[in-house]
Amino acid sequence: MVEQGPTHRVLTEPAHAYTRLLLAAVPREGWDPRQAAAARA
């Protein structure tokens, strides 16, 4: 576990870089897998 707190805060304001990368990888409308991959570089 790298981050903990209220679900809403963790999902909308992640403090840890790994949490941000995980959220960037979730497919959704307008999601571009190339941007998710670029965020890891």
Q: What is the predicted pLDDT for the residue at 11?
A: 95
Considering the domain boundaries, does residue 36 fall inside one? yes
Considering the domain boundaries, does residue 14 fall inside one? yes
Considering the domain boundaries, does residue 22 fall inside one? yes
Q: What is the predicted pLDDT for the residue at 36?
A: 82
Considering the entire predicted model, what is its pTM? Answer: 0.74
Mean pLDDT across the stretch 13-35?
91
Considering the domain boundaries, does residue 27 fall inside one? yes
Q: For the chain, report the end-to-end CA distance as a whole number of angstroms.
A: 22
Its domain, for residue 17, covers 7-40
Count how many domains the chain has: 1
Whole-angstrom Cα distance, residue 8 to residue 31?
Answer: 20
Q: What is the predicted pLDDT for the residue at 18?
A: 92
Considering the domain boundaries, does residue 1 fall inside one? no
Helix (H) or strand (E) holding 32: none
Q: What is the predicted pLDDT for the residue at 4?
A: 96
Considering the domain boundaries, does residue 31 fall inside one? yes
Mean pLDDT across the stretch 4-21?
95
